[in-house]
Amino acid sequence: MDMDYVAQNGLVLLGCGKMGSAMLQGWLADGLPPSSVWVIDPHPSEWLRATGVHINSDLPAAPGIVLIAVKPQMMGDALPAIAAMGNGATLFVSVAAGTPISAFEEALGGTSPIIRAMPNTPAAVGRGITAIIGNAHATSDQVDLAETLLCAVGQVVRLQNEAQMDAVTGVSGSGPAYVFHMIECLAKAGEAEGLSPELAMQLAQATVAGAGALAEAADETPAQLRVNVTSPNGTTQAGLEVLMDEQSGLPPLMRATVAAAASRSRELANG
C-alpha cells in the first residue's frame, strides 16, 4: 500500500486545523491529487479552499483511509459522519490526543482496522515525530501506509503496545512545551546577567534550535557532544555542575515532569 492506493481509493480528512493542514500540505507536495481528498471541517481556511480538495461535500462510501484530526472534545460530533464506513476495508488513523483505540472500536465497529498516532507540534514545520500503534485488525500493509502518510510531517516510530502512548505523550507529545519553557528560562537568566531581553531571547532560541539540530545530525550521542564542549574547570563545567546535580538539578526535575504528564495521560484515557 502506498500513495497510489490512497489516490485510487480516496482519503477523508476529518478536521483540518494546524495538524491536519500540515499533513495535507505534505501529501499534496508529494503528489497526492487534490481530487482524491475529502476534507470535513466546520471552518475551512482560505488556504484549504485554494487547494482544490473536496470540502464538506458528500463522502465516498468506502474510502481507502480516514484520518481523524479533530480535537478530542469534537470527537462526538465528528464520528457519526464516518461510522457507516466501519467494519470494512477502510483504514482509520487517529491523531487525536488521548482517545484510545477502544473508543474508536466502540464508535466505528470492533472489526475496523484502526491506527492510533501521537504526533507533536513541530509537525507544523515538517519536524515532528509521531508514534503509531495499530489494533488487531490493522494489517502490516496498513501500518506501512499510515507511516507513509505521517512521514509527511516528520519522523515516525512504531510502538509495541498502546500503553506506551502515555510515555510518548510525556516525552514527545508534551516535550516541545518543556523546550519552549527552557528557552524562556535561558533568556531570563541571560537578562539577569545584563543582556537586553531581545538579545537574550535571540541567543537562547538559536542555541536551543542549533543544539537540537546538531544532536540529530551528529554521529556522537548527546552525552558525548556534552563532553566535547566541556573543558576541565571551564565555564561549561561550572554551569553543568548546577544543572546536572542529581538532587537539585535537571535529572530529577525532568523525571518528575515526564512522569506527571504520562500520569495525566493515563487519567484522561481512563475517563
Query: Please, which residues have CB within 8 angstroms of residue 90's CB and are 6 or more apart in sequence?
Result: 62, 63, 64, 65, 66, 112, 113
Q: What is the pLDDT of residue 127?
A: 94
Q: 226: exposed, middle or buried (C-beta count within 10 Å: 0-12, 13-18, 19+)?
A: middle
Per CATH, 3-165 and 175-269 having the same topology is answered no
Q: Where are the domains of the chain?
A: 3-165, 175-269
Q: 168: exposed, middle or buried (C-beta count within 10 Å: 0-12, 13-18, 19+)?
A: buried
Q: Which of 40, 39, 36, 91 is nearest to 62 (CA)?
A: 91
| C-alpha cell recorded at residue 217 | 545530525
- Third-level CATH fold of 175-269: ProC C-terminal domain-like fold (1.10.3730)
Which residue ranges in the chain fall short of pLDDT 70? Answer: 1, 271
Q: What is the pLDDT of residue 271?
A: 67
Q: Which of 75, 118, 102 is nearest to 261 (CA)?
A: 118
Please report, for the chain, how many H helices and E strands are present, in that order: 12, 8
pLDDT tens-place string over residues 14-58 = 999 989 999 999 999 989 999 999 999 999 999 999 999 999 999
Q: Which homologous superfamily does the CATH classification assign to the domain defined by 3-165?
A: NAD(P)-binding Rossmann-like Domain (3.40.50.720)
| C-alpha cell recorded at residue 32 | 497526492
DSSP helix, strand, coil percent of the chain (3-state; round to 5): 55, 15, 30
Instruction: Report the predicted TM-score, pTM, of the whole model to 2 decimal places.
Output: 0.92
Is 241:226 a contact under the CB 8 Å cutoff?
A: no
Name residue, grid cell 548546577: 242
Q: What is the pLDDT of residue 1?
A: 67
* One-letter amino acid for residue 153 of the chain: V
- What is the phi/psi pair of residue 35, to 5°? -65, -15
